[in-house]
A = this chain, B = another copy of it.
Amino acid sequence: MSDTKTKRLNQIFDATLRLTGEVGIAGLKMSNIAQEASIATGTLYIYFENKEELLNALYFKLQKESVPAIINDISHLAINIQLYKMWKIALERLVDNNLRIIFLEQFVISPYISESNKQIDIGFKNYLKQILEQGKSENLIKDANSDMLITLIIGFVRSFSTQIVNDCSGQLTEKSIDESFSICWDAIKK
């Protein structure tokens, strides 16, 4: 992809994220996205077929960026350390760019999400499942249904990061990362 195109796409994605933070996905207008990105409305349609494709492309990009960063080569570590690292990276990524989490939370329930993007989470969940299964075999993790444990973990990360983002004075500190992970670990350890 040419540098110009990449740059233009990022301009558009950044503008979309910024606006989502202000007006939500339901309030997004193509003309506003263009204005926020300092381009003409028509230019958006050079890069995307329509509004739906633009939003799905942004979702795909955010997911693509997130998952590898989270699961990056930690397979040699102890289970609880692996989980801790994933926990930390997930929280940091989500909270670091709070616009990201606002967009993701809203997009997944919007009428715009495509079938293919609906399935995109599954890769990460499978990876998490492997770790949990291994933990069970090492007698470190509870013998509960893995799907339930995964639901617990993801539900907590989402709630927690959303809370920090929405709480104006909220900050993600080492202490809060450790404390939240500790709670999560107690929930799933044997």
Q: Whole-angstrom distance from the CB of A108 to the nearest CB of chain B?
A: 10
> CB < 8 Å: which of B157, B160, B183 contacts A142?
B183
Q: Give the number of copies in the complex.
A: 4
Task: Report the stretch among A10-18, A24-32, A76-84 that lies at the interface.
Answer: A24-32
Which residues of B are found within 8 Å of A26, using beta-carbon distances? 25-26, 110-111
Q: How many residues of A sit at the interface, in one of the four size bands?
A: 35 or more
Given contacts A147-B163, A148-B176, 13 further A-B contacts (CB under 8 A): A23-B111, A26-B26, A145-B176, A148-B179, A148-B180, A148-B183, A149-B183, A151-B156, A151-B159, A152-B160, A154-B159, A156-B159, A186-B186
28 sampled A-B residue pairs with Cβ under 8 A: A24-B111, A26-B26, A106-B109, A109-B109, A142-B183, A142-B186, A144-B179, A145-B176, A145-B179, A148-B160, A148-B176, A148-B179, A148-B180, A151-B156, A151-B159, A151-B163, A152-B180, A152-B183, A152-B187, A155-B155, A155-B159, A156-B156, A158-B159, A183-B188, A184-B187, A186-B188, A186-B189, A187-B187
